[in-house]
Structure 1
């Protein structure tokens, strides 16, 4: 039960925020635009809060909250931050939507569209990098004019904030763009990763983890150069930078882990469905890294398995399940082996008249119902239909699958088949003949084209008994040899009737018919 609840909670794109995988275009545009804008705003707000905390509360050195910096602190910096926030969100979103125009027009993505879609997170990251690099130059200049000691302090904090913003922008925008990436990647399965890659994602996390370490190194340099950093101040800096590293490291690690686990969860969920027999299971390919290759590879694998199962099913329908299973489990060779088999022939009486007096559609319908009963009874008794010849069929018991009582199975099938045909296919009558004896069973033909069949005297005798059956009451005839070879529980249902020399044979055959 818990696994079923987890499966119900699984989303095709890894999160309920991303909606279903087949959302209509208008709703998809609104969803992506909102998520992208939110991702850019959140990334920048986090970076700005980090910068303010570092420059005012954490790093040692000359203070920035002084009277001569009021204009810079409360006019220039807020104005640029607001400008960068609005421009970054607007510029990035507009450029992203332009690169994703194919999805908004509801058309299939070209190769160029797919590459552009996977590069959108990089483009957004570059936009933020440009804006924060501009802020780095502006703030360093403005604060540096008021004191050279502020250059390193402001420069480092702005750099640290920019790194955090760029990393968050990439991870959050990649998450927001999953629905569009799914459409792009599903239209043409990936052969190699086009996104940033798992290695580069890990390097991003490492870079962000290095920012607090760089901060500690800067504090150490301050302490060595100025000689006025107290132990308390140094301890506060270490604790603050360490805490920032832990918090942001955890946050980014969670984001990165969720980004990596989402495609893996979709594959494992679909794999569970395949294991339960659902070969229509597929996953939406929405990841541009090696994990996206895993998703598309899973889809190709399931497609191949589905095709093989269809071929196996078709093969089994043509040659019989037992023959197909034997052919797929061992090396195919021409030739055969001598087996004790029972052969059952069934043939429609008056098929020429049937074809001449009824429309072709009715003839086909009658024959399909007729053969439906024949196949069902043969399979129910452990045999397989080896051939259909017009309105006749040849069934074999004892090859390729061995039966404890091949003769008894064929005789029981003949009796049951006769009763069902009389009741369910009263449009026609059919003669049924059963013979038993040694025959060669195996693959007959050439290397390029062969079939599994049986060759021997029981086959010929069964065909002649089928002809003879059309002249006896009940229209079922078997050789007494078959009855004597059957177990007693089946042999008791048969009685000897006449000795007849069948056409093409020199010795008389004792014919048995079902006992009334």
Structure 2
């Protein structure tokens, strides 16, 4: 599903400019760590710009001490956070480097990568907020300045941790996809759509608005904030909000577009669909659910196709529509029986393997011809086949269709020149339905026309036209087909007391 290569990025989203920047090999975890460091440095820079403007109005400034403290902490915190992140995800880095499927525990650890990274970032920022607040309270005459700085750093940390989570989730989609491919989601959500949307709200509205409110409620600055601070905070909120909204929109919108395309393909009958599962929340469950549904539909279609090949398309469709059960009904049908003449000597002459190929070519002619006339190839019996017209579905002219099929089969077989056949056609009432046991059924027709058609086939093998029909069959057919047949003679068929008047092809 996802490439193992360390150099080539994996296409997670199938369209858009961010489709190729999610590595999945040994570079994945280091790349994500670098991305997190950059995000945190941007957050640090933003907070530093806010701290530069800190002043208690006394003319004395402790900005230098605070900034040096922040810089010193940054030198220690960034390497410590990097090491903590790599250690936390060392199992993920291990199976990615070894290019193997993760175990269940390793997959679970990989799915927690965005959340773990965000928590590490939040922890570092919280410690930094406490440290800078304490230093500020000491170096400034008004200790409330320390509270202001602590709150500012805390809010900056909340925003940075949130953006870190969204960026990491985006960058780690290829890793997530590989983990979920090995161990599909089963309902345990790491972070669903609702928390993600709430996080986006916090980054775009909650924290910025809270920051503006705190600027006006700041007890160390009774005159209120300056215009520069408010404008700067609004600009930062707009930029962070745009980034957070874009990341969340893509995290939700892209999988839904992929799912829509997959469902459209399934709707057109294309079951060769495999949706990439790259989300550990509700969307991932939906992606896996669609894959399971498509697999079930494909399996059902294969079974229906196999069912149709064994019992005939019309029987299969009727069984799927009404169910299958033991029992049946009386119908008036035309039975066509076709048999290869001299098959025993033919097997000796050709060998069994070549005989099978010959039979398949012969039966292909029979099936195509019978189905073109609206009939059913009911069963194959060695080198013979029983075909029925008028069951299980009605036919407007079963006798005429059977006679036309008999002529066409004889002409096609004679044109191929591989085998010699005999075709018998009879018409009359039969019992048609399922026979067998409850666990193994077969659709069949039972009645005198079936036996009569089989007996007429033996006569047809010795007749030049190679097709013989009963008189009742020809007289039941439509006039166009009836004119193509002529009376032949009366015979006494094996197993019958009365004589049967036979008809043969007129031309």
TM-score (structure 2 length as normaliser): 0.90
Name structure 1 gaps, 5 residues minimum: 1-9
Deviations 1:322-359 (A, max 9, x none): 00000000132322222221110001111222223332
Q: CA deviation at 1:459?
A: 0.8
**Equivalent of residue 229 in structure 1, options 223, 227, 231:** 223
Check the 8 A contact 1:13/1:284 in 2, yes or no.
no
Q: CA deviation at 1:276?
A: 2.4
The reply on whether 1:114 has 2:107 as its aligned counterpart is yes
**Equivalent of residue 360 in structure 1, options 352, 370, 381:** 352
Where do 1:61-460 residues align within 5 Å? 62=56, 68-73=62-67, 75-89=68-82, 91-93=84-86, 95-147=88-140, 148-208=143-203, 209-222=205-218, 225=219, 228-230=222-224, 233=225, 241-424=233-416, 426-460=417-451
Question: Within 2, Cα distance between the matches of 1:280 and 1:161?
Answer: 48
Name structure 2 gaps, 5 residues minimum: 1-9
Deviations 1:108-145 (A, max 9, x none): 22111110110111221122122212211221121111
Q: Go from structure 1 to structure 2 and tell me whether the alpha carbon gap of 1:417 and 1:472 turns closer, same or farther (over 3 Å shift).
A: same
User: Which residue of 2 is the match for residue 30 of structure 1?
Assistant: 27
Check the 8 A contact 1:40/1:88 in 2, yes or no.
no
TM-score (structure 1 length as normaliser): 0.89
Deviations 1:210-254 (A, max 9, x none): 2223223323332xx457315xx4666655545544443333122
User: Which residue of 2 is the match for residue 7 of structure 1?
Assistant: none
**Equivalent of residue 46 in structure 1, options 14, 27, 42:** 42
Question: Within 1, Cα distance between the matches of 2:235 and 2:11?
Answer: 34
Q: What root-mean-square deviation, in Å, do the aligned CA atoms of Structure 1 and Structure 2 show? A: 2.6
Q: CA deviation at 1:386?
A: 0.5
User: Which residue of 2 is the match for residue 13 of structure 1?
Assistant: 13
Structure with more of its chain in helix, by fraction: 1
Q: Go from structure 1 to structure 2 and tell me whether the alpha carbon gap of 1:228 and 1:110 turns closer, same or farther (over 3 Å shift).
A: closer
Check the 8 A contact 1:436/1:481 in 2, yes or no.
yes
User: Which residue of 2 is the match for residue 5 of structure 1?
Assistant: none
Structure 1 window deviating more from structure 2 (410-419 vs 272-281): it is 272-281
Question: Within 2, Cα distance between the matches of 1:378 and 1:69?
Answer: 95
Question: Within 2, Cα distance between the matches of 1:276 and 1:82?
Answer: 59
Check the 8 A contact 1:500/1:510 in 2, yes or no.
yes
User: Which residue of 1 is the match for residue 5 of structure 2?
Assistant: none
User: Which residue of 1 is the match for residue 475 of structure 2?
Assistant: 484
User: Which residue of 2 is the match for residue 466 of structure 1?
Assistant: 457
Question: Within 2, Cα distance between the matches of 1:385 and 1:218?
Answer: 84
Question: Within 2, Cα distance between the matches of 1:322 and 1:65?
Answer: 96
Check the 8 A contact 2:51/2:63 in 1, yes or no.
no
Question: Within 2, Cα distance between the matches of 1:267 and 1:343?
Answer: 50
Question: Within 1, Cα distance between the matches of 2:288 and 2:302?
Answer: 21
Check the 8 A contact 1:414/1:476 in 2, yes or no.
yes
Check the 8 A contact 2:170/2:247 in 1, yes or no.
no
Question: Within 1, Cα distance between the matches of 2:66 and 2:211?
Answer: 24
Q: CA deviation at 1:417?
A: 0.6
Question: Within 2, Cα distance between the matches of 1:514 and 1:320?
Answer: 28
Q: CA deviation at 1:156?
A: 1.0
Deviations 1:47-82 (A, max 9, x none): 22331343345xx86279965432442x33234335
Question: Within 1, Cα distance between the matches of 2:12 and 2:400?
Answer: 55
Check the 8 A contact 2:55/2:61 in 1, yes or no.
no
**Equivalent of residue 55 in structure 1, options 35, 51, 55:** 51
Deviations 1:460-508 (A, max 9, x none): 1111111111121121111121111111222221111112221111222
Q: CA deviation at 1:309?
A: 0.6
**Equivalent of residue 494 in structure 2, options 476, 495, 503:** 503
Question: Within 1, Cα distance between the matches of 2:499 and 2:403?
Answer: 20
Question: Within 1, Cα distance between the matches of 2:465 and 2:364?
Answer: 20
Structure 1 window deviating more from structure 2 (413-422 vs 208-217): it is 208-217
Deviations 1:352-385 (A, max 9, x none): 2222333211121221111111111111111111
Aligned residues: 494
